[in-house]
Structures are given as C-alpha cells and as structure tokens.
Structure 1
Amino acid sequence: MQWKQDFTPIADHLWLSAIVALIPIVYFFWALAVKRMKGHIAGLTTLIVALVISVIAYKMPVGMAVMSVTQGAVYGLLPIGWIIITSVFLYKLTVKSGYFDVIRNSVTSITEDRRLQALLIAFSFGAFLEGAAGFGAPVAISAALLVGLGFNPLYAAGICLIANTAPVAFGAIGIPIISMEGPTGIPATEISKMVGRQLPFLSIFIPFYLVLIMAGWKRTVEVLPAIIVSGVSFALTQYLSSNFLGPELPDILSALISLFALAVFLKYWKPKSTYRFATESEVAAASQAHRVAYAGGKVFKAWSPFLVLTVFISLWGIPQVKAALTGHYEGTNGLLKLVNTIGYHLTFMPAVPGLNNRIINASGQPIAAVYKLELLGAAGTAILLAAVVTKFIVNMSWKDWGRTFIETLVELRFPLITIASVVGFAYVTNASGMSTTLGMALAKTGSLFPFFSPILGWLGVFITGSDTSSNLLFGNLQKVTATSIGMDPVLALAANSSGGVVGKMISPQSIAVACAAVGLTGKESDLFRFTVKHSIFLIILIGILVFLQSHVLSWMVP
C-alpha cells in the first residue's frame, strides 16, 4: 500500500492546514516555556500530539506514522545520542583522573575573567568543534568545560547554545551548504559566498551579545577590545574563506585564528577588573590565592584528551576518510581501502518496514526510508576512540574506565529518551507533510518573503534540529518561491541556512543535548526559556538583513 502526501488536508485550504500543522510546535513551546515540563515528558507528549494530527488531520496510515517515529528515534540515538554519551564520558574521565583541575588552572592562567573564558571556550573552541564534527558535540564538550571551570550549569549551556549560532551554517566540514547543491542545482560555492556575506555580521555581534547577556552593558564595555579581537578575527576569516576557499573550512580556520588572536591579545592586555559570578566571588578569590603553578608538561598532558579528540574528529570530518569509514571509498589509497572494508561491514542501512518507498511526495516519487546506522563513521565513535586513548594518558584502569562509562549511561537515560522522542517528532512531521505545509504558507508572503525566508530556515532547524536537514527540507521551496517573486535564489538559499543557525539554540534536540552535558536533566524548560528570547531577537535581525540585501543592498549578492 502506498500513501500520497497531501499538504492542504483541511478543506483543501493552505492556511487552515498550516494552523493545524503548527499545533505540535505551539504545544512544545507551551510545554517547556509555560508548563515547564521535564524534557522527556515534553518530548514524548509532543510526539503523541504530532502522531495524532498526522493520522487524523493528514490521513497518514497509522503504521507509516509509527514507523516514521522509529526511524527518527534510531537516528536520535545514533549518531546524536552516541555523541552525547561519548562527549560526557570523555569529560568525566578527565574529572575522575584529577586532570581537569590542571585544565581549569591553565585556562585561568590566561584569564580568570568569566567573560573572556566564555569567548575562548564557548565561542572559539566551540566553533572549531562545530566545524570539525557538528551534531551536538560542540555544545556538549564546551558546556562541560565551562561547568568544570565553575560556570553555573544553566549559564554554561545557554551561552554555548548562543555562541554556537555563528558557525552552524558551515558546520561539519560545510555539509549544510554542500547538501543544498544536489536538490537545487545551484553550486555550493555560490551559496557559500552568500552565506559568507551574511553570517560575518552575526559573528561580530555574537561575542558582544554573549558578554552582554552574562554581565550587562557596563562590564561588557570593559572588555570591548577583547570582544573586537575575538569577533572581528572570526568574521574576517569567515568571509574570506567562504568566498575564496568554499564551504568546507570557514569554521575551522575562523575558530583557530580567533582562538589564537584572543589568547595572544590577552598576554598583553587585561581588563580593569576581573569579572566573576556573584555566587562564586569568595571561592574564586580563595582559589586564586592558592593556584598551583603546574609544569608545562603536565598542562600538555591534561589537555591531551581534548587534543586527541580534535585529531580524531578532524580525521572523521575529512571527506575521503568519512567515505572510507562508511564503506563508500572508491580511491586507491591502501590504508583507506582497509578502513573502507571495516567501515563497509560496520555500516547498516536496512529499509524501514512498512515505510520505505511507501510515501509518495508531491512530485509523484516514492520516498526512501532507511535506518542509517554508521557504527564506525559516527562522530561519537571518534570521541570514544579519544576516550580509549585518554585511558592510557591518565593511567586509568579498565575497571574504572568501564565503571565511568556505565555511570555516564545511567546519568543520560532521560536525555536519551528526550532526544529519541523529539527526533521521532521531527520525522513524523516531515513524513506526514506538516513541515512542507508550514513552508508553503510562509512562501505565500509575497514581497515580504525576503524577510520570512530566513524564518523558514529557523523553523526547519527547530523542527529537525539540523541546518543540513532544514536546507534539504526547504531548499527547493526557497529557490522556487524566490524565482517567482523576483528574489535572487542564491540569496534565498543562503537565508535558509543563515536563519537556521539561530533556530539551533531552541531546537528540542539541542536543548536536550546541552542539559545532558551539564547535568541539568529535567531542567530543559529552564534552558528553553533562557534561549528562546535570544533566538527570536536574532532571527528578526537576520530577516531584516536579508530583506535589505534583496531590496537595497543587492550589490552584496554574488
């Protein structure tokens, strides 16, 4: 039996159908922001609401709806959940071994100022991890590091989510932008150039905005020179690399240059006062008085787990290596051919029973549905290998190593339920056609579409949790709509990706990941309330920028 998607199921009326399709999203906002439900409860009940609407309003067969949920849940556990497990595990290894005390000391030796620590770790180091891996690893690792330094867990998670906006469009070696070339036919290099003429404005603003959220206007002005060094070095590199090198390297290059520039700058410049959170001033002052001067070798050893992590994640992000890890390498390199053989046997793509090629899209084509299980190619596996190497670096017994891994699994049981349910929600929303209904409604805004174009990307990332998925979901719709109203399609595609970056901080998946990383399981509603106002503010700014680029600043379009 096959079933054809109907995007206007309510009285054949687009706007009525869009209102119905919006119900699960509104419910999720209400569950977290108003009722303050625990994340796994909000996720599960939102999933139930989406299932009911998909079956009753969209007439999707029950079996197909349920199987689409299983497809999403599996993806939620691998690769997303696997990244969370291994990231938190690696962090816990450094804590249990005592080496995180050395890491904390090395960061405070550069600066004890919380504002500047946030720029170094949440903004620059987080952007590097986003460029190399993506899929939740940046927020999980950088937020855990900030908590270890003494940040309030809610602030650490919220700051890292907001900081992660600048690099998301070029994350995971440029995959979000590269993915749009196939379905739209527009070269990824052209989209990269346009995104590189939008996001640098955000990249300059985000460091300032982060510190403003943390410390207020007066204390932000105190560190304005450092903010300028951090933001401008990142934005300039992002523009140059995206416009002259392509979409693969902007994040990695921008992050490294920004990190290095700020670290060097802080060797010669210090703020007038050292900012700490009000709740930690006395403790921090005491720790400063008793700070240990560790030898360089010990500091290097303490940071080694994260250096090893960087090497593995960078390797996993190289296209040829990624292809070999998933059994798709076609080159002649002997080592990669060996890895390809192993990767082939550890990659499983079974069809989803009762769903694969059963749903017919608007073009009359069947939609493939598979469980994507890349055991070796998953970024979480790279992090696990870093954890294995870390076991030898910190001289930990296999017994303690294994016990720490089990403790991590137990601690993350509820976050994993949350992630599985919200990704299941995303998949049933896409399979039923609800996402497309919402996209079609926004596309009807006519001359105002340049303003709403990034909001479409924002909505896509909120639903799917991924800028890549949002670009695949709405890319062609953006192109067709832009062409029909006289807007440059390259601008519309770039707007989808740029708008999506600020949807990441309120995506249910991202919220669950961040809470799991900092030990705030069950407090997802608090984090959502923290980030949602910033997300709305930033998407309005991006909408205004795209509107101006379409009508006034058209010379910026390549």
Structure 2
Amino acid sequence: MSLLPATLLTSSSELLARYQQDPQAVGGSLGLSALVSVLPLAVVLVLLGVVRVRAQWAALAGLLAALVVAVVGFSMPVGTSLLAAAHGALFGLFPIMWIVVNALWVFNMTVATGHFDVLRRSFGTLSIDERTQAILVAFCFGALLEALAGFGAPVAITSVMLVALGFQPLKAAVVALVANTAPVAFGAMGVPVITLARVTGLPLDQVASMVGRQTPFLALLVPLLLVFLVDGKRGVREAWAPALVCGFVFALGQFLTSNFLSVELTDIVAALLSALAVFALARMQPDAVWAARSPAMAGGGGPGTAQAPDSPTEVRRAYAPYVIIIVVFALAQLPGIKPALDAVEIAFTVPGLDVLDPAGEPHSTTAYSLTAISTAGTLMLVAGAIVAIVLKVGGGRALATYTRTLDELKWAILTVAGVLALAYVMNASAQTTAIGLFVAGAGGALAFLSPLLGWFAVAVTGSDTSANALFGSLQVTAAQGAGLPPELLAAANSSGGVLGKMLSPQNLAIAAVAVKMEGEEGVLLRKVIGWSLGLLVILSGIIALQATPVLGWMLP
C-alpha cells in the first residue's frame, strides 16, 4: 500500500471526487483500519486528560488527525474531507451553539436584572434542613440550570449557593457534582440528544424516547444519594420522603416530556415539577424535621439575616422566564402551528461532498437541513425577547447581554465546531464504521459495555454533546453488527455519559474554584469516583436488560 493515496498525486481539479466508503481500507483489514481510526480520538482524549490542553485546541488537533487518517489511511480526497469538516462545523454552529447561546442569554438576563437572586432565595425559603436544601438547590435548581445553560454552570452556581446556605465547601462541591447527572442528557435545551440524533441518522423522537427510558432510573436514585452524602444513614432515615418524591416526580416528568411533549423542554418540566412536589409535600408535612423553617428563611434571607422578603410580584417575575419558555415551546408543538413552522426549512446537499456508503447509497453526512423557525435556538430567541419585556430589560441592555454571552461562549463555540467537524470527517471517511464493526465483535455483552464508552468520553471531554458526536455513530454501527437495536446503544452512549460528568477535569476545576478549593481537584475526584462507577454499573445492568426480553418491552 502506497504511503500517499493517488488523490494526493493528481491535479487540483481532482481534489473533489466521488468517494465510496471502505471500512477495511487500511491494508484490507478491519482490525488495522479500526486501530488507525482510533488515532483522532486518542489525540483528543490524551491531550485533554493527560497533557491538560484546553478543549478547543484538543478538538482542533483531533480534527487534524482525523483529516490525515481520512486522506492517507482511507484514501478520501482532500477536498471531500475538508468539506465534511466544514459541514460538521456548520452543524456545530447551527443548530447546536445557536441553542446554547440563546439559552444562556436568557439566563444571563435573569442574572443581570437580579431575578436570579430572587429565584435563588425562593428555593431557600422552604427549609433550613441541609438535606432538603441539597435536593432543592443541587438537584432541582441544578437541573433547571442544566436545561438552560449547561457547560458547567449548574455546578458553579449551585455549589456557591450551598456554601451561602451554610454547607462546608467540600460537601457543597461534592453534592453539586453528584447532582449534576440525571439532567445532563437533556441539558442546554436538549443539545446532547439533538446532536446524537443528527450524527447517528436516527429519528430525534426515537433517540429522545430511549434516553428518556434510561436516565429516569438515575433520577430515582440521585436525590436519595444526596441526602446520604449530606447526613449519612440518618439523612436517608429522616429525609427519605422528599428524596423519593423528588426523584419519582423528576423521573416521571423526564420520561413523559421526552417521549410525548418536547425534547427541549424535558429538563425544565422535570425540574419545576419535582421542586413543586417537594414544596407540596412540605406543606402536607409541616412538622417533619426535613421541612423545618426559621423566621429568617421564611422571610427570604439566608440563615442569620434580616433581609426583607421578596414581594410576590418579584417572585412571580423571577419564575416568569421559565414559564415563558415552556409556553413558547409548547405552542410550537401544536398541530396547527408545528407544520407551518417546520415548513420554513433550510435544506441542501453540500456541493462537492459526494460520499457513498459501502452499499453505494448517498451517506447521511452529505445533506444539511435546518428548520429555521421551529429549531430550539430560534424558539429560545423568541422566548428571550418576551422575557426581556417581562423583566423590563431595555433593548440596549438586552443586546449588551447577548454580546457578553457570545464572548463568554467563544471558546465553547470553537470547541463544539471542532468536535463536530472531527465527528463528520470520521463518519464520512468510514473511520467510525471501522471502529463500530470491530467493537461489534463483543456481541451480546455490548449492551452492558456501551454506556462505558459514553462515560469515558464525558469524563475526559466534560461534555455529553461531544461524547455523542464522537461515539454516537460508532454505537449504532456496533449495534447493527451485533444484532442489537441501534437506538438502544445510541441512547446508552448519552445515558452513560452523564455519569462521567462529575469526574471531568472541567467540572472538578469549576467546583473547586466555586468553593475556593483551588488545587484540591484530586480530593473531589476521590470523593465522587466511587459513586460515579457504582451508578454506572447499575445503569449498564438496566441497559443490558433492555436488550433482553426482561426489559425489552421498554424500547420505543
């Protein structure tokens, strides 16, 4: 085999040519092709996890490695491989970062106007009991932040809030890290699941439904785990009721919303319903030790403060942005409105990107489509405009907040564009297919092992979105080779990934800085790694059973 493919030796007019995928392109061997295909992923993971290079540069280095493997190893024309990268970067920007930017803009407006503080205080009025505060702040409110912002915001904000409520810094950081699990797959308005559907070519509703039948099991366990982390066995004995109610309502809300309402609204609905359920239970059991209140807390201040209570009007206004988002997204799903919104579509075959799969059919990476109005980013922009009016944010201030949001996310934008470009090059050149077919040799055990791939990717990258972009297509290829439902393993990648979030260097660093424990990331890692692995084993067992008649009825 020549070290340089023929396409590198031809004229520039031949840099763009029809390319048919061959998963055994390297030496005619599937094993060797899979081994070479791992190189781009290894570059990203080693740079992130060992060398500690910033995510954006690791992503670009991985992209360069993927391009070299595609051209040299898989004989993909240079121009075609660059077009595949450009297509992936475009998808990373629209709709992925379009969603994230607009969601974070809405959150930043609530911070700028002080309504975030009002919302925070309202969560602190229910109880002075630390176990209940862990449930409401770290789990419920953290899930709401994950739904709107993601990318480390829930850990940073909830850990600070817990310290302000009287938690020891180490305990606050650990609780915030462990709580940031179950909501992650549907975080940032469903971006991880939306990305997973796009890179795998599976229908979004099918992927979201399957993830919504896996992560709720984690939601059932995490609140109980939080009260144990706060107060050990006594915590579970005395505060099991709010923990179970919160976990059950969140799990039910996540399942119902992801399966029957809206992918984007999944975590918002689940978070608000679970918080309301705990509030309602506290009113039903006012004498319970976990519902103990003090006059200061009832008045809206923190322990030992004499702050005047927030007015009912201000409290309603603080909750208004989330109600507005729900209403806007719900209206967009109505039968009389949804078809009209979906009709406004940007769809085209990328010029020059002529890729055929091994069977000779056009590959999914050649076509781009975006429902311009009904996409979550545009709906969030509409909701944000309404929120600006309700919160009395002037046009200039709203624009300044948007500009600041773009500046905050500039490196995240580059990272996501780079990761998606990497994923598209690997998918278009058949690198992902080669790895997937090789991994499929695990057979039936693959269902148990598949969440581990997502867990590992998120532990290194800190992003379920990136993990789905990197391994989503691989999971589908492996599932098809092993005779397993592709949506099951695709969902397992995202569901397993959420448990790697608490171990990622990014999240550990955010938590350490937030509670003023800089340099103590190793301490936090030792505190959470056991819980991460334990929950991963439980989730993997459930997913393995979903591949059998025992729980096979759970598949959509």
Please indicate the TM-score interval, normalised by the length of the shorter structure: 0.7 to 0.9
How far is the alpha carbon of 1:2 from its aligned partner? Answer: 0.8
Q: Which residue of 2 aligns with 1:399?
A: 396
Q: Which residue of 2 aligns with 1:337?
A: none
Q: Is contact 2:124–2:302 with CA below 8 Å preserved after alignment?
A: no
Q: Structure 2 unaligned segments of length 5 or more: list them.
A: 1-16, 164-168, 293-299
Q: Is contact 2:155–2:510 with CA below 8 Å preserved after alignment?
A: no
Q: Is contact 2:301–2:307 with CA below 8 Å preserved after alignment?
A: no
**Which letter does structure 1 place at the counterpart of 2:351?**
P
Matched, 1:498 2:492: yes
Q: Which residue of 1 aligns with 2:325?
A: 309
2:99 to 83, 87, 97: 83
- Provide the C-alpha distance between the structure 1 equivalents of 2:233 and 2:50, rounded to a whole number of angstroms: 29
- Provide the C-alpha distance between the structure 2 equivalents of 1:555 and 1:17, rounded to a whole number of angstroms: 33
Q: Which residue of 1 aligns with 2:118?
A: 102
How far is the alpha carbon of 1:315 from its aligned partner? Answer: 3.2
Indicate how the Cα distance of structure 1 residues 410 and 214 shifts in structure 2: closer, same or farther if over 3 A, else same.
farther
Which secondary structure does the structure 2 equivalent of 1:353 belong to? coil
- Provide the C-alpha distance between the structure 1 equivalents of 2:98 and 2:255, rounded to a whole number of angstroms: 33
Q: Which residue of 1 aligns with 2:73?
A: 57
Show the 5 A alignment for 1:361-440: 361-368=357-364, 369-440=366-437
Cα deviation, 1:372-424, whole Å, max 9, x if unaligned, reads 34432221222222221222222222222222222222222122111111111
Q: Which residue of 2 aligns with 1:265?
A: 281
Q: Is contact 1:451–1:543 with CA below 8 Å preserved after alignment?
A: yes
How far is the alpha carbon of 1:463 from its aligned partner? Answer: 8.8
- Provide the C-alpha distance between the structure 2 equivalents of 1:382 and 1:156, rounded to a whole number of angstroms: 33
Which secondary structure does the structure 2 equivalent of 1:396 belong to? coil
How far is the alpha carbon of 1:179 from its aligned partner? Answer: 9.2
Q: Which residue of 2 aligns with 1:354?
A: 352
Show the 5 A alignment for 1:278-357: 288-317=304-333, 321-326=337-342, 328=343, 344=344, 347-355=345-353
- Provide the C-alpha distance between the structure 1 equivalents of 2:537 and 2:152, rounded to a whole number of angstroms: 27
Matched, 1:37 2:65: no
2:83 to 67, 88, 92: 67
Q: Which residue of 1 aligns with 2:479?
A: 478
Q: Is contact 1:415–1:516 with CA below 8 Å preserved after alignment?
A: no
- Provide the C-alpha distance between the structure 2 equivalents of 1:22 and 1:176, rounded to a whole number of angstroms: 21
How far is the alpha carbon of 1:259 from its aligned partner? Answer: 3.4
How many residues align? The count is 508
- Provide the C-alpha distance between the structure 2 equivalents of 1:547 and 1:121, rounded to a whole number of angstroms: 33
Q: Is contact 1:180–1:471 with CA below 8 Å preserved after alignment?
A: yes
Q: Is contact 1:455–1:496 with CA below 8 Å preserved after alignment?
A: no
- Provide the C-alpha distance between the structure 1 equivalents of 2:471 and 2:105, rounded to a whole number of angstroms: 30
- Provide the C-alpha distance between the structure 2 equivalents of 1:12 and 1:458, rounded to a whole number of angstroms: 32
Which secondary structure does the structure 2 equivalent of 1:27 belong to? helix
Q: Is contact 1:127–1:167 with CA below 8 Å preserved after alignment?
A: no
Indicate how the Cα distance of structure 1 residues 452 and 219 shifts in structure 2: closer, same or farther if over 3 A, else same.
same
Give the structure-2-normalised TM-score.
0.73
**Which letter does structure 1 place at the counterpart of 2:111?**
V
- Provide the C-alpha distance between the structure 1 equivalents of 2:270 and 2:425, rounded to a whole number of angstroms: 37
Q: Is contact 1:423–1:464 with CA below 8 Å preserved after alignment?
A: no
- Provide the C-alpha distance between the structure 2 equivalents of 1:495 and 1:300, rounded to a whole number of angstroms: 42
- Provide the C-alpha distance between the structure 2 equivalents of 1:308 and 1:160, rounded to a whole number of angstroms: 26
Q: Is contact 1:141–1:517 with CA below 8 Å preserved after alignment?
A: no
Cα deviation, 1:155-201, whole Å, max 9, x if unaligned, reads 79845641325768x969998999999979xx969x96x87775553
Q: Is contact 2:211–2:495 with CA below 8 Å preserved after alignment?
A: no
**Which letter does structure 2 place at the counterpart of 1:439?**
G
Indicate how the Cα distance of structure 1 residues 481 and 306 shifts in structure 2: closer, same or farther if over 3 A, else same.
same
Q: Which has the higher contact order (CA 8 A, sep 6+)?
A: 1
How far is the alpha carbon of 1:452 from its aligned partner? Answer: 3.2
Indicate how the Cα distance of structure 1 residues 354 and 129 shifts in structure 2: closer, same or farther if over 3 A, else same.
farther
Q: Is contact 2:70–2:425 with CA below 8 Å preserved after alignment?
A: yes
Q: Is contact 1:163–1:207 with CA below 8 Å preserved after alignment?
A: no
Q: Is contact 2:89–2:418 with CA below 8 Å preserved after alignment?
A: yes
Cα deviation, 1:299-343, whole Å, max 9, x if unaligned, reads 1012212221222233345576444223x3xxxxxxxxxxxxxxx
Q: Is contact 2:496–2:539 with CA below 8 Å preserved after alignment?
A: no
- Provide the C-alpha distance between the structure 1 equivalents of 2:211 and 2:111, rounded to a whole number of angstroms: 39
Indicate how the Cα distance of structure 1 residues 17 and 200 shifts in structure 2: closer, same or farther if over 3 A, else same.
same
- Provide the C-alpha distance between the structure 2 equivalents of 1:96 and 1:127, rounded to a whole number of angstroms: 21
How far is the alpha carbon of 1:359 from its aligned partner? Answer: 0.8
Indicate how the Cα distance of structure 1 residues 55 and 324 shifts in structure 2: closer, same or farther if over 3 A, else same.
same
Q: Is contact 1:179–1:472 with CA below 8 Å preserved after alignment?
A: no
Q: Which residue of 2 aligns with 1:485?
A: none
**Which letter does structure 2 place at the counterpart of 1:413?**
K
Q: Which residue of 1 aligns with 2:6?
A: none
**Greater CA drift, 459-468 or 435-444:** 459-468
Q: Is contact 1:55–1:61 with CA below 8 Å preserved after alignment?
A: yes
Which secondary structure does the structure 1 equivalent of 2:436 belong to? helix
How far is the alpha carbon of 1:109 from its aligned partner? Answer: 1.1
- Provide the C-alpha distance between the structure 2 equivalents of 1:419 and 1:532, rounded to a whole number of angstroms: 26
Indicate how the Cα distance of structure 1 residues 120 and 322 shifts in structure 2: closer, same or farther if over 3 A, else same.
farther
- Provide the C-alpha distance between the structure 2 equivalents of 1:440 and 1:52, rounded to a whole number of angstroms: 21
Q: Which residue of 2 aligns with 1:164?
A: 183
Q: Is contact 1:76–1:423 with CA below 8 Å preserved after alignment?
A: yes
Show the 5 A alignment for 1:68-217: 68-111=84-127, 116-117=132-133, 119-120=135-136, 123-124=139-140, 146=158, 149=161, 158-159=177-178, 161-165=180-184, 199-209=215-225
Cα deviation, 1:57-116, whole Å, max 9, x if unaligned, reads 222221111111111111111122122222222122122222222112111112456654
Percent identity of paired positions between Structure 1 and Structure 2: 29
Indicate how the Cα distance of structure 1 residues 76 and 323 shifts in structure 2: closer, same or farther if over 3 A, else same.
farther
Which secondary structure does the structure 2 equivalent of 1:372 belong to? strand
Q: Structure 1 unaligned segments of length 5 or more: list them.
A: 275-283, 329-343, 483-488
Cα deviation, 1:349-384, whole Å, max 9, x if unaligned, reads 2432321xx111022102252343443222122222
Q: CA RMSD in A?
A: 4.9
Which secondary structure does the structure 1 equivalent of 2:57 belong to? helix
- Provide the C-alpha distance between the structure 2 equivalents of 1:314 and 1:181, rounded to a whole number of angstroms: 26
- Provide the C-alpha distance between the structure 2 equivalents of 1:129 and 1:320, rounded to a whole number of angstroms: 31
Q: Is contact 1:40–1:417 with CA below 8 Å preserved after alignment?
A: yes
- Provide the C-alpha distance between the structure 2 equivalents of 1:532 and 1:5, rounded to a whole number of angstroms: 40
2:542 to 529, 536, 545: 545
- Provide the C-alpha distance between the structure 1 equivalents of 2:396 and 2:251, rounded to a whole number of angstroms: 46
